[in-house]
Amino acid sequence: MWEDEENTKGRFTFSIFPAVSRSRCIDNRSITQAATNHGFFPSYFRRFNIKACTCRCGEDSSDDLQHYAQFCPLTSHLRNMIRSTHSLRHIIANRGTSRELISIIQYVQENEGEIFQLED
């Protein structure tokens, strides 16, 4: 589906995995969220009108996975190997950085109340 250039759905996933592969299997919920951009982050909540919120750090209005994985000061204590220059494809493919990514995603989801700020 996402290999069809005319189709607008799946463009995010296509940017990570440009070719469909039957040998690729993602068996981790957090990595699946990262690969599809369907994670529980403010950007996702706003996109689907679930709730209006932003990241408390106030540094990036995108408030998406990349923000928390690479830039957010509220998750910096979890980042040892992930660098701002890494592509999401690299982060997912590398065993060490993918483990770190999983920890960041789980931390954000478990601490949503302290990290997300509801908009009025």
Tens-digit pLDDT profile for residues 99-118: 999 999 999 999 999 999 99
Q: Which amino acid, one-letter code, is at 53?
A: C
Q: Does residue 7 register a pLDDT over 60?
A: no
Confidence of residue 6 (pLDDT cuts 50, 70, 90): low
CB 3 within 8 A of CB 20: yes
pLDDT of residue 120: 72
Q: Does residue 72 register a pLDDT over 80?
A: yes
- Between CA 104 and CA 101 the distance in angstroms is 5
Domain boundary assignment for the chain: 39-118
- The number of residues making up the chain comes to 120
